[in-house]
Structure 1
């Protein structure tokens, strides 16, 4: 999806927080609370520039037309059973390596600097969490984190597109709030497509409390409550 100059200008003049907050909610596990928020989400989508608002509205249409049980089954099949559709941003750049532990710490420190702390057991690089932080915590720092993982976001969008997933629309909306991919990002995406994330099965001790090695859950197997 190409982002027009007009839309990019619109997002420099008005804060993209409504798009980020909406996308954050829509990338969470579907439940009754999300469905109850559809009128609010639809109003937010209508207030946004078309390149972000239209795909969000299209996804909300999908929520309207799909039974909750089917939405939940599709969410699990998409995000829990496909590594290419991983919602944990550092996975794309670092895989399961020591470097991923350090990257997770940078997210955690950014949240702490804004006075925000995650619930126990919640990883800070989940896209829904990062978008919520960007929308309600520190917009500038949140945007920096999104741009730092721009290649991973693009790979996720491409993977969802290839899978024919309705969540593609949500990623299109997020992409519309960010600058176009740079040459360096294009190279990173091409490399990820060709090689995949780094593969090194190790304990990610830098992210832990210092009491011992910490093993991150496989993003394709994590169980949601």
Structure 2
């Protein structure tokens, strides 16, 4: 609902809203700080392979140098855990948390559309958004994988770049809920991300509660979401509960469980 009375002429309401939006635009320094936060979030939500774990001292230093904020505090709490973990233990925790549990999958369109045709179209729309902004993902992950979405947000800025995060706010809330329930340290990373987004509405909270109780929608058909020239291999979206063989994974990984959503191979 508009905060301006309906009796105010439409052209005035439009110009007032435009002025508010202009005032809300971040300064160059604020935009740089926000992009850094988003890039850190993207890195910390990736699988902790040897390359990422080797960079933990530099990541901890970058987080420690952030200006005071809720996001910085949450990331600091996560880094306390992450830097103290044995690399194999950190990798196992990541796999158990994100690859083996449907409720904390990092594929955002799953929460909005489940395994349905609509999810395939949402993936295609997201990939087209990236290309329209002049950004080509490397294709190692689906375009709705949270670290990919965060990287795009960091590169493209608060408007176009963060639109997918705002669209999938409810899915992010559900992931945070699952992580908090499991007492996973990754709950701090999701808390940091949510602190950057507009507050959840009552409708958002009700939708998340429904998702917690019922799960995403389902559709008992096999789906090839992208069609000709797409990103995902045939069979990516199988009937709910069907076994979909995962792509090959590094020897140190635990193979994804059959009941979770399809996972791309880590690199």
Cα distance in 2 for residues equivalent to 1:51 and 1:95: 31
Asked if 1:168 is matched to 2:187, the reply is yes
Shift of 1:208: 2.7
Asked if 1:37 is matched to 2:64, the reply is no
Shift of 1:197: 0.4
- 1:46-195 to structure 2, matched below 5 A, reads 46-120=65-139, 122-195=141-214
Cα distance in 2 for residues equivalent to 1:130 and 1:120: 13
In structure 2, do the counterparts of structure 1 residues 213 and 160 end up closer, same or farther at CA, with 3 Å as the change threshold?
closer
Shift of 1:205: 3.4
* Equivalent residue, structure 1, for 2:236: 216
- Stretches of structure 1 that go unaligned for 5 or more consecutive residues are 1-9
Root-mean-square deviation (Å): 2.5
Cα distance in 1 for residues equivalent to 2:212 and 2:229: 34
Asked if 1:28 is matched to 2:46, the reply is yes
Q: Which has the higher contact order (CA 8 A, sep 6+)?
A: 1
Shift of 1:220: 4.2
Shift of 1:75: 0.6
Count the aligned residue pairs: 217
Shift of 1:63: 1.6
In structure 2, do the counterparts of structure 1 residues 12 and 189 end up closer, same or farther at CA, with 3 Å as the change threshold?
farther
Cα distance in 1 for residues equivalent to 2:40 and 2:179: 18
Cα distance in 2 for residues equivalent to 1:115 and 1:210: 18
Cα deviation code 1:55-93 (max 9, x no counterpart): 111111112111000000111111110000110000001
TM-score of the two chains, using structure 2 as the length reference: 0.74
- Stretches of structure 2 that go unaligned for 5 or more consecutive residues are 1-23, 238-243, 245-259
Cα distance in 2 for residues equivalent to 1:165 and 1:11: 34
